[in-house]
Structure 1
Amino acid sequence: MQRVTSLPADDKMCGWYHTSRPRKPRAPHSGQSKTRWAVVGAGYTGLAAARQLAVNFPDDEVVLIEAQEVGFGTSGRNAGFVIDLPHDIGADDYIGDIATAKSTLKLNLLGQTILRDLVSEHGIDCQMRASGKYQAAVEESGVAVLDAYRRGLDKLGQPYEVIEGKDLPAHIGTSFYRKALFTPGTLLVQPSALVKGLANCLPGNVSLYENTPITAVEYGEKIVLHHGNGCITADKLLLANNAFGTRFGFLPRAMLPVFLYASLTRPLTEAEQAQLGGKPFWGVIPADPFGSTVRRTHDNRILVRNSFSFNPDGRPKEQYLSRFADRHRLSFARRFPMLPDVDFEYTWSGSLALAHNHKGFFGQLAPNVYGALCCNGLGITRGTVTGTLLADWLAGKRSELIDFLLATSGPNKNPPEPFLSIGVNATLWWGQRKAGLES
């Protein structure tokens, strides 16, 4: 019996969740059930895997289990960038090995296509727009990163536009940045609305149970998932719960649960929108990975996302929220001095599953147990495509992209505690300090 010793328990003030259309959660599971397929985690990966299993095995029931409410957890807490390009922060040019980058680009584009088609087919109201993204820099070191990224994009043969600081206010309203690199292929979404919409249009042979945290698992010829009100016995188990996969006994010390923090303002008034200027909908990611991500949303709010913490149990810590909200206010004031009276309505945290070698896991974890885990901060596209392809692989399908994922070495192991926490916390502290004005 594998006891699950830490369960998701996200903080309650996620702005994306509260500003998206309300949705009635599905009832928790109770009693005893049997199924051929069980999927744990109803984020992007789990929703995609359950959907594709249901398509590939139309006569089977697929049971999808979510510890919290769909749209409330990690998948609804990111910045909403559906990125097409490779985004390897471990490489100097964000691209790295060109063969790997080309396969990664194909994966991301397929993930985008899957989501685009679902949003269009089911009329999902998630404000999906092909807005591209600006990667912007303030410091000299950030400008050097943009130059390296531009060279990487040249190698990959991908389009971009260099925008000098004097021209940026016409795009994003602020003159804070010195330079930006605009790439046109990114989609922007309201992430919680997207996750809610994907859950609402699952095939009829998917049984979704929300607010059903799994507390123990028995592995063997059958997989038995225990929770507070019963159990689910499955022939096959798919884990799509990112860093919480370690709590199910797999990939120990391989995934780092790192939390990022975001704040969302109230809607800007018409006068404030005029003072800001620029385009009505845009997204900026920082040249420095430890800098600030900033968005202007469809409802004229400003999102600021920065500051990191390492929480080994995979659960947020309330004491960080007020501290990092102060950092968000400083970051906002630097970028938008023309908006001195705009306050934040929401501040929240969201977790990332990161690997030291920036690789994810795809494939078989144990007899009858499979997983697509560790998205390394690209959960929307990577989760969608790996969940879909894992279900295809289990149906006996093969493709160039499935073979690429199966051949990936997966996340490497980290040192044991206390050395792990000491090292990760030191890296986060130094990275945020070194980011300077980029944050």
Structure 2
Amino acid sequence: MTKITSLPADDQRCGWYHLSPSRQPRPGHSGQRSARWVIVGAGFTGLAAARQLALNFPDEEVLLIEAQEVGFGTSGRNAGFAIDLPHDIGADDYIGDIATARTSLQLNLMGQDLLKELVRQHGIDCQLKACGKYQAAVENRGIAVLDAYRRGLDKLGQEYRMIEEAELPSHIGTGFYRQALFTPGTVLIQPAALVKGLADSLPANVTLYENTPITEVDYGERVQLRHGRGSISAERLILTNNAFGMSFGFLKGRMLPIFTYASLSRPLNDEEQARLGGKPYWGLIPADPFGTTVRRTPDNRLLIRNSFSFNPDGRSNPRYLARAIARHRESFARRFPMLPGVDLEFTWGGALALSRNHLGYFGQLAPNVYGALCCNGLGVTRGTVTGKLLADWLAGEKSELIDFLRESPGPNPNPPQPFLSMGVNANLSWGQYRAGRES
């Protein structure tokens, strides 16, 4: 028997969650159930896997288990970028090996297209805007990153535009940045609203249980999942719970639960919008991976996202959240000095499942156990497409994309504790220090 010693415990102040359309959560499971297909984790990956399994096996029930409420966890806490382009932060040009980059582009575009079609088909109100993204720099080191990224995009044959300092305020209002590289393919979303909408539009043969944290698992001819109010027997178990997959006994010591933090301002009034200027909505990521992500949302709020912490148990820590709030206020003031009276209304943390070699896992974990885990910060698009393709593979389908995912060596092993925490914390501190004015 495997006891699950680490369960999700996110903070209560996620702005995306509180501002998204309200919904009635599905009841938690109680009693005993048995099913052929059971999925643990109802984020982007789990929702896509459940949807596709239900379509592939229309006469079979699919059970989808979520420890918290849908939209409250990690998938509803990101910055809301559904990115199309390869985003390999381990490569100097963000592109890396060109053949791998082309396949990654294919995967990301498929994930994006799946989400856009579901939003259209089901009328999901998630502020979806196909408006591209800016990657911007203020330090010389950041300018060099943009130049390298431009060369990578040239190799990949992708469209972009370099925007210089004098022109940038007409795009994003602030004159803080010296240069930006604009790529048109990114889609911006309200992530909690999208996840909620995806959950409420699942096929009829998917049963979603929310607020049902699994506490024990027995792996055998059938997998037995236990929780505080009952148990579920699965012929086949699919894990789509990212770093919490380690608590279920898989990929132990191969994933890194890294938290990053975001704040949303109150809505800007008409006069403040005029002072800011620029386009009515946009998204900007930093040239330096440890810098600050910024968004202007369609409801006229400004988002600031920066600061990192290593939370080995995958759970929120109030001490780190308090530190992030102070940093967000400083970052906001540097970028928007024309808006001195605008408060930050919500601040929250959310986990990324990262690996040291920036690779995820796709395939069979054990007899009757399968997984799509470790999205490395691309959960919106990559989580969606890997969940869908895992369900297709389990239905016997074959494709080059499935082969590509299955042939990946997966996440590298981490050093043992306490060296792991010492090393990760040192790297996070040094990276945030080096980011300088990009933070």
TM range (shorter): over 0.9
Instruction: Quote the offset at 1:321 in angstroms.
Output: 1.4
SS of equivalent residue, structure 1 residue 405: helix
Q: Deviations over 1:59-100 (max 9, x none)?
A: 100000000000000000000000000000000000000000
What residue in structure 1 maps to residue 304 of structure 2? Answer: 304
State how far apart, in whole Å, the 1-side matches of 2:326 and 2:9 are: 23
What residue in structure 2 maps to residue 93 of structure 1? Answer: 93
Q: Does 1:343 align with 2:304?
A: no
What residue in structure 1 maps to residue 183 of structure 2? Answer: 183
SS of equivalent residue, structure 1 residue 363: strand
Instruction: Quote the offset at 1:405 in angstroms.
Output: 0.3
State how far apart, in whole Å, the 2-side matches of 1:254 and 1:290 are: 22
Q: Does 1:16 align with 2:16?
A: yes
* Aligned residue type for 1:375: C
Instruction: Quote the offset at 1:320 in angstroms.
Output: 1.4
What residue in structure 1 maps to residue 57 of structure 2? Answer: 57
State how far apart, in whole Å, the 1-side matches of 2:89 and 2:272 are: 35
| TM-score, length of structure 2 as denominator length | 1.00
* Aligned residue type for 1:189: I
Q: Does 1:205 align with 2:175?
A: no
Q: Deviations over 1:126-163 (max 9, x none)?
A: 01110100000000000000000000000000000000
* Aligned residue type for 1:377: G
SS of equivalent residue, structure 2 residue 166: helix
Q: Deviations over 1:261-302 (max 9, x none)?
A: 000000000000000000000000000000000000011000
* Aligned residue type for 1:136: A
What residue in structure 2 maps to residue 405 of structure 1? Answer: 405
* Aligned residue type for 1:6: S
* Aligned residue type for 1:247: S
Cα RMSD between the aligned structures? 0.3
What residue in structure 2 maps to residue 3 of structure 1? Answer: 3
Counterpart mapping for 1:26-175 below 5 A: 26-175=26-175
What residue in structure 2 maps to residue 280 of structure 1? Answer: 280
* Aligned residue type for 1:142: G
* Aligned residue type for 1:135: Q
What residue in structure 1 maps to residue 289 of structure 2? Answer: 289
Q: Deviations over 1:192-226 (max 9, x none)?
A: 00000000000000000000000010001100110
Q: Deviations over 1:384-424 (max 9, x none)?
A: 00000000000000101000000111001001100000000
Structure 1 regions of 5+ residues with no counterpart? Answer: none
State how far apart, in whole Å, the 2-side matches of 1:313 and 1:113 are: 34
Q: Deviations over 1:215-274 (max 9, x none)?
A: 010001100110000000010000000000000000011000000000000000000000
What residue in structure 1 maps to residue 425 of structure 2? Answer: 425
SS of equivalent residue, structure 1 residue 167: coil
State how far apart, in whole Å, the 2-side matches of 1:409 and 1:176 are: 41
* Aligned residue type for 1:173: G
* Aligned residue type for 1:113: D
State how far apart, in whole Å, the 1-side matches of 2:415 and 2:150 are: 35
State how far apart, in whole Å, the 1-side matches of 2:264 and 2:43 are: 22
* Aligned residue type for 2:251: L
Instruction: Quote the offset at 1:323 in angstroms.
Output: 1.3
SS of equivalent residue, structure 1 residue 303: strand
What residue in structure 2 maps to residue 265 of structure 1? Answer: 265
What residue in structure 2 maps to residue 224 of structure 1? Answer: 224
State how far apart, in whole Å, the 2-side matches of 1:2 and 1:400 are: 35
Instruction: Quote the offset at 1:183 in angstroms.
Output: 0.1
State how far apart, in whole Å, the 1-side matches of 2:247 and 2:131 are: 38
State how far apart, in whole Å, the 1-side matches of 2:185 and 2:110 are: 13
What residue in structure 2 maps to residue 331 of structure 1? Answer: 331
SS of equivalent residue, structure 2 residue 423: helix
State how far apart, in whole Å, the 1-side matches of 2:176 and 2:43 are: 35
State how far apart, in whole Å, the 2-side matches of 1:249 and 1:153 are: 39
* Aligned residue type for 1:181: L
State how far apart, in whole Å, the 2-side matches of 1:88 and 1:321 are: 27
Instruction: Quote the offset at 1:319 in angstroms.
Output: 1.2
State how far apart, in whole Å, the 2-side matches of 1:329 and 1:322 are: 11
* Aligned residue type for 2:359: K
